[in-house]
Amino acid sequence: MIKTIIIDDEASVRADVREKIASHFKNEISIIGEADSVASGIKVIEQLKPQLLLLDINLGDGTSFDILKQTSFKDFDVIFITGYDMHAIKAIKVGALDYILKPIEMDEFIDALRKVTTQEKQENHLEKLIEISSEYFSGVKNKRVILKTSDNVYAIYEDDIIYCRSEGNYTTFYTQQMEKIMVSKSIKKVEEILSEESFIRCHQSYIVNKKHVLKYNKQGILVVHLDFKVPVSSRRKDYVLKRIFD
């Protein structure tokens, strides 16, 4: 049984989560405690040492990021349960953390919890993932993103990313350190985690960091840092050039 704590300032949401777990995970997940604030959340985590947290982001006396940063016990998985707060959702995605949207749909809820109940316990990078999400949520200037490969978990500053190139459901990040990092994400998913003010989808298969663009030539190519060549599609040309050079 996976020992679980629910942290949400809405009693109705906590009751809904309890009911769904009882209906679909009664032999796999055990709810050992609840909390409705940052202070009570930290207290119950330290006392009961759960394996899984289901938590809302915005609480009456702070946010769940405050809980995750302040609690000394961190050996658990995390699934956020949040409303349609696009800034919060982006922060969660940047940190490669899992979430469920309110109002909770049963299929989405089952899929999220099934991942926890069926996956083998892997090396826990939770502290780093939380740090990255919290940075974005609090508005740090030079943001980082989490990139997971089959062998490593990278925390990369956005300014170090020169461009991204996709091949099907995989995308390769090209960095200033001459490192190529391939992740199992489509270009659309990558676009969702990068900052709109710095990154431009210039082609069906390419995203470029405009800070690294040196010039645009007549062949429809952006020449970027380290002499990389990034194509611009004809239908995106006007938009791309306006974003970079105006």
Q: Per residue in 205-237, pLDDT tens?
A: 999 999 999 999 999 999 999 999 999 999 999
CA separation for the pair 137, 47 (Å, rounded): 28
pTM of the full predicted structure?
0.84
Q: Evaluate whether 223 touches 214 at the Cβ level (below 8 Å).
A: yes
Higher pLDDT, 119 or 28: 28
CA separation for the pair 35, 240 (Å, rounded): 48
Q: Is the pLDDT of residue 123 over 80?
A: no
Q: Evaluate whether 113 touches 126 at the Cβ level (below 8 Å).
A: no
Neighbours of 70 (CB within 10 A): 14
pLDDT at 28: 95
If you search the block for the tokens 């200033």, which residue do you land on?
176
**DSSP code at position 49:** -
3-state secondary structure of 40: helix
| 22 CB burial (10 A radius; 0-12, 13-18, 19+) | exposed
| 232 CB burial (10 A radius; 0-12, 13-18, 19+) | buried
Instruction: Report the percentage of the chain scoring pLDDT > 90.
Output: 87
For the residues 110-117, what does the mean pLDDT come to? 92
